[in-house]
């Protein structure tokens, strides 16, 4: 999916900026569990799904574009 986004940006001569907010797994789980579906943009996940997404996240590399890392905890 990342490659596809990069190709789309390239068509418009745009360089991607990738912003990653590093957050502890426990904080991510806590925040996801607080969701109640009242916002149309909230994606509801079980704890197991959240852990799976977190554990399998592929951290971006600088060859994908400018990388900005923010500590979210």
pTM of the predicted model over 0.85: no
Helix (H) or strand (E) holding 19: strand 17-22
Give which of 26, 24, 46 is closest to 35, Cα–Cα: 46
d(CA 16, CA 64): 7
DSSP state of 39: S
Average pLDDT over residues 25-41: 93
At residue 40, what are phi and psi to the nearest 5 degrees?
Answer: -60, -20
Q: State yes or no: pLDDT of 73 exceeds 80.
A: no
């Amino acid at each position: 999916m990342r490659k596809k986004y990069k190709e789309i940006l390239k068509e418009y001569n745009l360089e991607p900026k990738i912003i990653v907010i590093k957050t502890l797994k426990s904080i991510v789980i806590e925040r996801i569990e607080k969701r109640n579906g009242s916002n149309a943009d909230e994606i509801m996940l079980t704890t197991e799904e959240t852990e799976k997404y977190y554990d399998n996240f592929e951290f971006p590399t600088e060859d994908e574009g400018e990388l900005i890392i923010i500590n979210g905890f």
